[in-house]
Amino acid sequence: MRKKAAIVLPDAARKQAIASLRAYFTANMDEEIGDLKAGLLLDFILSELGPSVYNQAIADARAFFEERTSDLAAICYRDEFPTSRKS
């Protein structure tokens, strides 16, 4: 099995996540952290917790599509040669 790449956020999302972590620490931990510490924490969260969140998201998407396609054969099926069976 090939090795999966780490979860990487686009630059804009990463900056927002770092700002969010800094705001959380200020509001809830009574401590201010800088961009470096918040970035390191974000990297840890993405590497340790990210795969679990990703796997659950994939499972949810798969269940959604399986539910939507489970009846696809019955919904899309059409009788073949319907007029010749009438006789």
Question: Residue 86's pLDDT is what?
Answer: 66
> What is the residue range of 35's domain?
11-79
Say if 85 falls within a structural domain: no
Say if 2 falls within a structural domain: no
Say if 42 falls within a structural domain: yes
The closest alpha carbon to 43, from 17, 12, 4, belongs to: 17
Question: pLDDT tens digits, residue range 40-58?
Answer: 999 999 999 999 999 999 9
Q: Per-residue pLDDT for the chain (87 aa), expressed as one digit of tens each?
A: 567 767 899 999 999 999 999 999 999 999 999 999 999 999 999 999 999 999 999 999 999 999 888 888 777 878 888 887 765
Say if 1 falls within a structural domain: no
CB of 50 closer than 8 Å to CB of 33: no
| Total domains in the fold of the chain | 1
pTM score, two decimals?
0.72
Residue 4 DSSP one-character state = P
